[in-house]
Amino acid sequence: MMVELLLIVAFGGSLLTYVLGKLSSRLRNGFALLNALALVIMIGMLYGQEFERSLPFGFLGIQFSIRMNMLSWFFAATILGIGLLAVLYSFRYMKGKERLDYYYFTLLFINASMLGTVVAGDLLSFFIFWEMMSWSTYLLISLRGGGKAIFAGIKYIIMSLVGSLAMLVAIVSLYTAFGTVDIGELAVHMQSASLGLALLVVILFSITFVIINALWPFHTWLPDAHAEAVSPFSAILSAVLVRKGLYGLFLLMYVILGFSFLDRLAVGAISFSNVLAWIGAITIVFAAFRALLQNDSKRILAWSTVGQGGYMVLGVSVATSMGMAGGTFHILNHCIYIALLFFVAGAIEHRTGGIRDLDSLGGLIKKMPVAFVGGLVGIFGLIGLPLTNGFVSKWLIYKSLILEGRPFLAFAAFLGTWGTILYGYKFIHNIFLGQLPDELRDVKRVPFTMAVPIMVLVVLVFLFGVLPGIPLSVVNQVGTYMGFEPLDLNVWGIPSESGTLNVVNLLAAIAVAGFLVWLLFKTLGRSTRVDQSDNYAAGAAIPRGRYGFTREFYAPLYRIVSPYVKDFPDALFLWIADRTKALGGMTRKIYSGYVGSYVMYIVLFLAALVFVQLTWSPW
């Protein structure tokens, strides 16, 4: 009963939140938090269970069912965990804004629908939850109003609609072929499926999942949507919603089709996994360069989400235990640090009155220390520095790529990381370091309820980085469920011959290196404290606020790179939209408004019927 209860609490809670909001805003906030907390506790209790059960009702003769296993659990846990933190974070962030009842309702509703997609035991209920997730997300992206947010919302929903129509056709094809949409039964039937059907289904599903996972060339909705949404929701979008695409790919590739079938879907070197891997590689490199060109704190993060999705797909498509573990673990890690970074960017936005432009920020390190720590740790995780969680998963992905003899893919992954270092540094520097603009002299600290989620995530980044064995044991179980060999683990890392990873050694090495640097500065350095602006102008007197460190960061790089890194897919999609509109305008001219021509259409129609009959006599 537990999973049913989970869904009831999730959906019921979102509705009740709305109703309570009409009574009192405190009651609503309290209830929303309690609801999110209850869900986290319930999912915690479901750990390690594995079952599949039919529900007592269905839809047009198709029985609904729900399932719980480590794969579902893993995704459900990330959804609910981030959901809880986002709700807590929202209290202050959203305070004083309009339509809060609606906001909390939609936020919880989206979480509930996402939860539905991962516990659905048949593809039809999966689809229904998926669609509910799509339209409710669309309803929240544009919450802020204004041209950009509206554009982002419409872009998202149209791309998502393309995906869901593709998925609907795929699901119905499976249903007409096998008479069932139950995931477990399909996995059995699929082994005897014809290659044509399998190819159709795989392509259609892949379109859906690639769109929602924002892989090149269908990434174009993501930067707009993530940047324009309110920050707690950006965190949810980036951390968990986008990864529903990977959940779908897992389901498709390893639960429904299975290895042996995937191998059959290959012509020479062109196999499904290879194509996917190269899409991942292109995504990584492309997104890294695009992120470099951004000047908006949330857009940088949004592009980094695109790029990190590439890493996950790379790991997953290698299809070894280690690659799979790396990809899956990276989902969790990315979810932690990107939520952290969006919370930080949101905190900055909140305290500075909505500034996201990196040219006008700077020097906030002393004003907002919590945000600085959060941002720094988040960027460390994103880059994958040792001792942070991102290091472990990226290491696993690199290692598996190298072991499998994929040097070019590994190179793409490295290239992406170098790009990440550059834009990560820009993010930290332009917000926290450099000169504090005069307008930001009296910025306040991060409010407590916003600092709590940030600190929780900071701790998690280090915890999973130092003790990767804990999350990896869960990841191992996910892999085992999908039919991979479990990795050899201990709490500090991976001790086996194929790829040793020991964080203790790393820890020691870093401690020694840090000590040496400290010693060097202590003994040799002779430092004097100077004012920031003295430092900048080498002691010459300059008017304050005239020079900004943070203006036009990486300008030379920008000049070199920007002509080559154009977002062609985006331009293409916009062009299609534009042409469609023009086509509509042209079609409309058929209805000229002149009744004579209308009557002529009727007569012509009759004439056409007669002509067809007399020429080919089909009737």
Partner 1 sequence: MVSPVLLIAVPLGLAFAMPLIALISRRLPRFVPLVACAFNLIVAIRLIPTVLSAPVIQRIGGFSPPFCINLFAGPVGVMFAGLIALAGLVIAIYALSYIRTGPTVRYHMLYMLLLVGATGVVLTGDVFNLFVFFEVLCISSYALVAYFGDRNGLEAAAKYLIQGAVGSALLLMGIGLLYGLFGTLNMADIASRIGSVSDISVFVPLALIVSGLGVEAAIFPLNAWLPDAHSSAPSSISAILSGIAIEVGLYAVVRMIFTVFGATSIFMFLLFLGVLTVLMGELCAFAQTNIKRMLAYSSIGQIGLIVFAFAMASTISLAGGLFQLLTHTLSKALLFLAAGYMIHRSGSMEISSLNGMGRRMPLTSLAFSFGAFSIVGLPPFIGFPSKFLIVRSALEKQQTLFTLLLGFVLLGTLVEGAYFFRVVQAIYFKKSGDEPASRSLAPALPLISMLILAVLIIFVGIYPQPVADALSTAASDLLDRAAYIGSVLR
Applying CB under 8 A, which part among 57-65, 230-238, 298-306, 567-575 lies near partner 1? 57-65
Least Å distance, CB 525 to partner 1, is: 56
Q: Is 149 in the site for partner 1 (CB under 8 A)?
A: yes
**Binding residue (CB under 8 A) for partner 1 from 128, 275, 293, 376:** 128
Residue 181 contacts residue 122 (beta carbons within 8 Å): yes
Q: Does 604 bind partner 1 (CB under 8 A)?
A: yes
> Binding of partner 1 at residue 564 (CB under 8 A)?
no
Residue type, 318: V
- Give the nearest distance from C-beta 601 to partner 1 in angstroms: 4
Residue 349 Cβ vs partner 1, minimum distance, rounded to whole Å? 19
Lookup: tokens for 456: 């929780």
Minimum gap (Å) between residue 159 Cβ and partner 1:
10
Candidates 228, 13, 236; CA nearest to 109 is: 13
Q: In the set 517, 542, 571, 583, which binds partner 1 (CB under 8 A)?
A: 583
Closest C-alpha among 449, 462, 517, 551 to residue 232:
449
Distance (Å, whole) CA 219 – CA 252:
20
- Take residue 464 and report the two structure tokens written for it: 């999973």
DSSP-assigned letter for residue 213: T
Angle in degrees, CA 451, 109, 43, rounded to 5: 70
**Options 52, 101, 131, 296; binder of partner 1; rule CB under 8 A:** 131
Stretch in the footprint of partner 1 (CB under 8 A) among 148-156, 374-382, 464-472, 504-512: 148-156
Number of residues near partner 1 (by CB under 8 A): 59
Q: How far is the CB of 354 from partner 1 (least distance, A)?
A: 16
The nearest distance, CB 581 to partner 1, in angstroms, is 6
Strand partners, 266: 271
Q: Which is nearer to partner 1, 418 or 601 (CB)?
A: 601
Instruction: Name the burial class of residue 457, with classes exposed (0-12), middle (13-18) and buried (19+) by CB atoms within 10 angstroms of its CB.
Output: buried
Site for partner 1 (CB under 8 A): which residue of 145, 483, 495, 539? 145
Q: Tell me the one-letter amino acid at 539.
A: G
Q: At 26, which amino acid appears?
A: R
Give, rounded to a whole angstrom, the gap between the first and last alpha carbons of the chain. 59
Please list the residues that pair with 68 across neighbouring strands.
51
Please report how close the Cβ of residue 309 comes to partner 1 at its closest, in angstroms. 24
Which residue lies nearer to partner 1 by CB, 153 or 479?
A: 153
HSE-CB at 169 with a 13 A cutoff on CA atoms is: 17
Of the candidates 479, 491, 455, 311, the one whose C-alpha atom is nearest the C-alpha of residue 390 is 311
Of 142 and 477, nearer to partner 1 (C-beta) is 142
Tell me if 54 contacts partner 1 by CB under 8 A. Answer: no
Cβ atoms within 10 Å, residue 1: 7
CB atoms within 10 A of CB 269: 7
Q: Residue 314, SS3? A: helix
Residue 79: Cβ-neighbour burial (10 angstroms; 0-12, 13-18, 19+): buried
Q: Cis omega before residue 369 (within 30°)?
A: no
Q: Does 154 bind partner 1 (CB under 8 A)?
A: yes
Site for partner 1 in 409-438 (CB under 8 A): none
Q: Does 507 bind partner 1 (CB under 8 A)?
A: no
Length of the chain: 619
Work out the number of other CB atoms within 10 angstroms of the CB of residue 195: 10
The yes or no reply on residue 575 touching partner 1 (CB under 8 A) is: no
Out of 1, 56, 60, 529, the only residue in the binding site for partner 1 (CB under 8 A) is 60
Q: Residue 377 in contact with residue 415, Cβ under 8 Å?
A: no
Among 5, 266, 537, 609, binds partner 1 (CB under 8 A): 609
Query: For partner 1, which residue of 9, 150, 193, 275 counts as binding (CB under 8 A)?
Result: 150
Question: Of the ranges 131-139, 405-413, 485-493, 494-502, which one interacts with partner 1 (CB under 8 A)?
Answer: 131-139
Q: Which is nearer to partner 1, 544 or 581 (CB)?
A: 581
Q: Which helix (H) or strand (E) element contains residue 494?
A: strand 493-494
388 binds partner 1 (CB under 8 A): no
Binding residue for partner 1 (CB under 8 A) from 132, 207, 214, 300? 132
Of 166, 160, 264, whose CA–CA distance to 213 is shortest?
Answer: 160
State which residue, 564 or 594, has the beta carbon closest to partner 1: 594
459 touches partner 1 (CB under 8 A): no
Q: Which of 35, 142, 295, 333 binds partner 1 (CB under 8 A)?
A: 142
CB nearer partner 1, residue 131 or residue 359: 131
DSSP 496: S
Is residue 55 a contact point for partner 1 (CB under 8 A)? no
Return the number of the residue (165 or 504) whose C-beta is nearest partner 1: 165
Does the protein bind partner 1 through residue 139 (CB under 8 A)? yes
CA 90 to chain centre: 19
Site map 162..181 versus partner 1, x via CB under 8 A: x--x--xx--xx-xx-----
Question: What is the residue whose two structure tokens read 């992905």?
Answer: 397
Residue 158 vs 421, nearer CB to partner 1: 158
Residue 567's φ and ψ, nearest 5 degrees, are -85, 80
- Compute the 3-state secondary structure of the chain and give helix, strand, coil in percent, each to the nearest 5: 75, 5, 20
Nearer to partner 1, 69 or 142 (CB): 142
Find out whether 386 and 508 touch, Cβ atoms under 8 Å: no
Residue among 12, 457, 465 nearest 235 (CA): 457
| 90, 99, 551 from 96: Cα distances, Å | 11, 9, 32
Please identify, using beta-carbon distances, which residue of 89 and 126 lies nearer to partner 1. 126
Q: How far is the CB of 28 from partner 1 (least distance, A)?
A: 17
* Contact pick of 192, 527, 587, 615 for partner 1 (by CB under 8 A): 587
Residues engaged in binding partner 1 (CB under 8 A):
58-61, 127-128, 131-132, 134-135, 138-139, 142-145, 149-150, 153-154, 157-158, 161-162, 165, 168-169, 172-173, 175-176, 577, 580-581, 583-585, 587-588, 590-591, 593, 595, 597-599, 601-606, 609-610, 612-613, 617-619
